[in-house]
Structure 1
Amino acid sequence: MLTRLPSTKALYAFVVTAEELNFTAAANRLNLTQGAVSRQILSLEQLLGIALFHRHARGLSLTSKGTEFLPLVEHTLNHLQHSIEHIAHDKRKIKLKVPSCITSWLLPRLMNFQQQNPEIDVELTSTINHSVNFTSEPFDAAIGYGDLKTMTQQDNHLQHHLLFEEILTPVCAPSIISDQEEIATSWLEHQTWLHATPGKSDWKLWLKAWATEQEQPEWAVLQGKKNQHFATLDLSVNAAIQGFGIAIGDTVLAKPDIELGKLIAPCQFSVRSGKGYFFIRPKAQVNSNIERLMTELLN
């Protein structure tokens, strides 16, 4: 039996290192030196009397005991954090993490919520990361992106509420096309294709569905002759708004810019990606203000 418990700093270092599987990357997140993180993990292993990581030349991997220990530590730290928040946290503040591509959809709803609930302060953090770890990140709720079938099965400690399903279609500035009737294979293949994913997955998905709609064989799927890559969906769509090419956009997220005349959807054909955007919150958290915010976003 252990005569003393490990420190929360050591447990937190273990969780972050398990996420990164690299001491240097974990040190950057923890604002510590690589050596300090390595010593914390070694100290924890010595206290427990087990190895938590396999050390490799190019990184780390969890041992079977480390894999078993990780969800227990995450649950414990999460419970401790929410216990502290229950006592000391200002219930009028909601810390919300969201992917940057959704801010144009979110802001009008958030402003409406703030007008209806002026006593509640929503602190918004925008990121290109579509996931959240409530154990290691200081957020009350988040908006995440993932597969419709598997998103809700990823963590038993989280609640996932679907905000909207992703439906993809090409979008571009009205200035790059004079007549929507001109849209055809020959027009599309000579445009600059703006990509928001390294594997061009959004374009590939839409093109395959479009080829089926046009009753073309799969080998006839177009290949873009001019391509430009971006790190996020909002960057690729912003480039489309400025007339630099044509992007694959989500119909819900693109709707405000289409209504303002900044974008058009020239092909009038869309495809469901099987993914969507979810409001995510810990199951153990009881906060009526978050319930009210969630209700606003779901409507």
Structure 2
Amino acid sequence: MPTRLPSTKALYAFVVTAEELNFTSAANRLNLTQGAVSRQISSLEQQLDVALFHRHARGLSLTSKGAEFLPLVEHTLNHLQRSIEHIAHDKRKIKLKVPSCITSWLLPKLMNFQQQNPEIDVELTSTIKHSVNFASEPFDAAIGYGDLDTFTQQDQQLHYHLLFEEILTPVCAPTLLGEHLSLQVNLLKQQTWLHATPEKSDWKLWLNAWAAEQKQPEWTALEGKKNQHFATLDLSVNAAMQGFGIAIGDTMLAQADIELGRLIAPCQLNVRSGKGYYFIRPKSQINNNIECLMDELLK
């Protein structure tokens, strides 16, 4: 049995490596060399006298002991982080992590919050990721994205508050369709389709609903004249705003641009994706400022 506790640096390296399942990717996040991370993990395994990872030619996988150890380490690091913040953290600052696609909806609400609470500083970090790990990331709260039925069951140590459900519809620049005011099949097929995912899942979901509404099952196999892929929803919608094609956008996130005339929604059909955006915070985080921010976002 180990008589010396592992260092927090080694435990943090373990958590990040378990998330990435690749030494090189973990090294990039930790700002270390691949060899340094590998040595940290090997040293931790030797200290514990337990193999935490299976090494494969193309990456890593957790052993059964590693999988058992991971949530315990995450809980311990999270508890330690909250304890430090309880003593030393500036209670007037909220570190908030959000997916980049939500910033157009979020910024007006943050401006309103800061006008009403000038003594509270919200430090905003945007990312293309839709999740957060409070054990390995220095955030007080986050906005995450996931399935309505299962997302809130991922971590029992967290509070989840639904901000809004994702509802999808085609969006494009007002000039793209010329004199046409609504979206017809022939017109749709002539356009470049802008995709936020490699699987084209948003377009497939909307086409299935459109085909069912019009009782035209063959429409589910429609393809655009060209297809352009982007890494995030906001990039695809911004491209649509510039007139490069038609994107499938979220009605809530696109609302401001539609009201300002930068986008139009040329079809009345909206489709629920079964997913939504959530305000997330640790249950151990007792902070009235975070509660106040959450209330503003829920308005």
TM > 0.5 fold call: yes
% identical equivalent positions = 82
Q: Which residue of 2 aligns with 1:60?
A: 60
Q: Tell me, which stretches of 5 or more residues in structure 1 are unaligned?
A: none
Deviations 1:78-127 (A, max 9, x none): 00000000000000000001111111100110000000000000000111
Name the counterpart of 1:212: 212
Q: Contact 1:211–1:221 at 8 Å: present in 2 too?
A: no
> Equivalent residue for 2:11?
11
TM-fit CA distance, 1:221: 3.4
User: Structure 1 residue 297 and structure 2 residue 297: aligned?
Assistant: yes
Do structure 1's residue 49 and structure 2's residue 61 form an aligned pair?
no
Q: Is the 8 A contact 1:169 1:270 kept in 2?
A: yes
Aligned length, in residue pairs: 299
| Structure 2 gaps, min length 5 | none
Q: What is aligned with 2:246?
A: 246
1:177 aligned partner: 177
Residue 82 in 1 paired to residue 82 in 2? yes
Q: Which amino acid aligns with 2:157?
A: H
**Aligned residue type for 1:194:** L
Change in Cα spacing, 1:217 to 1:140, as seen in structure 2 (3 Å) is: same
In 2, the alpha carbon distance for the partners of 1:288 and 1:70 equals: 30
CA distance in 2, matches of 1:56, 1:195: 33
Do the aligned partners of 2:160 and 2:280 also contact (CA within 8 Å) in 1?
Answer: yes
Identify the range of structure 1 (287-296 vs 33-42) with the bigger mean alpha-carbon deviation: 33-42
Aligned twin of 2:236? 236
Shift of 1:242: 1.2
> 1:106-125, aligned counterparts within 5 Å?
106-125=106-125
For normalisation by structure 2, the TM-score amounts to 0.97
CA contact (8 A) 1:144 1:280 kept: yes
> Residue deviations 1:113-148, cap 9 Å, x none?
000000000000111111111111111100111110
Contact 2:97 2:143 in 1 (8 A): yes
Greater mean alpha carbon deviation, residues 181-190 or residues 162-171: 181-190
Question: Which residue is equivalent to 2:69?
Answer: 69
The structure-2 alpha-carbon separation of the partners of 1:240 and 1:219, relative to structure 1 and needing over 3 Å to count, comes to closer
1:149 aligns with 2:149: yes
Deviation at 1:37?
1.1
Q: Quote how far apart the aligned CAs of 1:180 are.
A: 4.4
Question: What corresponds to 2:193 in structure 1?
Answer: 193
Tell me the SS of whatever aligns to 1:175. coil
Q: Give the 3-state SS of the residue equivalent to 1:85 in structure 2.
A: helix
Structure-1 residue corresponding to 2:280: 280
Q: 1:108, 1:161 → 2: CA distance?
A: 19
